[in-house]
Structure 1
Amino acid sequence: MTTAPSPVRDPAWSLPRSAIGLWLTESLINAAITVAVVVALLVWIPDDLGGPMPFLRWAVPIAAAVDVVVTVAVRPWFKHRVYRWEITADAVHTRTGWLSQTWTLVPVSRIQTVDVTRGLLQQVFGLATVAVFTASSQGTVRIWHLEHGMAQRVADDLAARAERVRDQAT
């Protein structure tokens, strides 16, 4: 793994382990859809195809099997190792992505709005996402899959800090 470009450093906190359960559930749902599509394709592809098409009878299931194994057996644990977050006195800092990684740093002074959202699966796993918005179209940072209580405390703290910074600027 390559090191982060200076002055960006890895954020201090990882996500709760329950995020693995959420990602695993999402992966199993996607795997079920993949299997259904592959079965439908295999039923749809006629047996008497000429030319290069017969290879689809074995290539499609192999590709789907590799996709399912990577999606279910690798992705959730790798994402848990990679996704990190931190809030310092001056900024919100995240690292996201499991293949292509993104470091995002948003100064507290730029924060305009802080939201907490909970999708259906997040509710099942007791998780929530904190979204920190700035005036910039590129300035939104999301801290995915925090425990719900922690997400609410983070959002309240960030909103209070941003308000204090705005009050000091006026």
Structure 2
Amino acid sequence: MSQLRDPAHRVSPRARLMWQVESGISALFVAAGLGVAAVLAGPDGLRWWLVGLAVVVCGTAAVVVPQWRYRVHRWEVSANAVYTQRGWWARERRIAPMSRVQTVDFAQGPLARMFGLATVTVTTASAAGPLQIEGLDRSVALALVDELTRKADLVEGDAT
């Protein structure tokens, strides 16, 4: 039995920085919560343990996770299918035949716009939900939306 290979294309290298900023913002909320807990904690030993935990959580979230995500997130489009791989803790690989593609969406949140990145979402006739390719250069994402729309339109049937 052959092993499923990684999809051919990586997301934009700028996605790492965007994910670091996203993770850093989230980590600040965690750190604030742990900081409040540290202030409310009784003994000084426990207080410093909570502060140390906040530093480790924030550092890991802002540095390690985005690097790991960048190594894992990949995508590929063939004549017959869209193939994605994503995740950082749990890895997900999905292949959607063009005959199942129902919609192709382009999205840019405020942070993605700042970094010139976008997300392409491919909705299929699958109970597993849509495929998402995050962290694409804006121009690559727009070209991918056009390509997927053309290819899905060439397939006979109603994508159900």
How high is the TM-score relative to the length of structure 1?
0.85
The amino acid of 2:79's aligned partner reads: A
In the TM superposition, residue 6 of structure 1 has moved relative to its aligned partner by: 4.2
Say if 2:155 is the partner of 1:140.
no
Could you give the per-residue CA deviations for residues 151-170 of structure 1, whole angstroms, max 9, x where no partner exists? 11101111111111037x9x
Question: Superposed, which structure 2 residues align to 1:65-76 within 5 Å?
Answer: 65-76=55-66
Counterpart check, 1:158 vs 2:154: no
Give 5+ residue unaligned stretches, structure 1. 48-53
Q: Give the secondary structure class of the aligned counterpart of 1:100.
A: coil
Measured in 1, the distance between the counterparts of 2:129 and 2:82 equals: 11
- Structure 2 match to 1:88: 78
Larger radius of gyration: 1
Asked whether the equivalents of residues 38 and 48 of structure 2 are also in contact (C-alpha less than 8 Å), the reply is no
Aligned 8 A contact 2:11 2:70 in 1: yes
Q: Which runs of 5+ in 2 are unaligned?
A: none
Shift of 1:7: 5.0
* Alpha-carbon distance in structure 1 between the residues aligned to 2:149 and 2:32: 45
Counterpart AA for 1:8: L
Whichever residue aligns with residue 27 of structure 2, its letter is A
**In the alignment, which residue of structure 2 is the partner of 1:32?**
28
- How many correspondences in the alignment? 158
Amino acid aligned to 2:31:
V
Residue aligning to 1:57: 47
Question: How big is each residue's C-alpha offset from its partner over 1:38-62, in whole Å with a ceiling of 9 and x where there is no partner?
Answer: 2211222245xxxxxx763233222
- How far apart in 1 are the matches of 2:114 and 2:62? 19
- Residues of 1 paired with 2:26 and 2:134: CA distance? 19
Please provide the CA RMSD for this pair.
2.0
SS of the aligned residue for 1:95 comes to strand
Distance in 2 between the 1:135 and 1:95 partners?
19
The share of aligned pairs that are identical, in percent, is 37
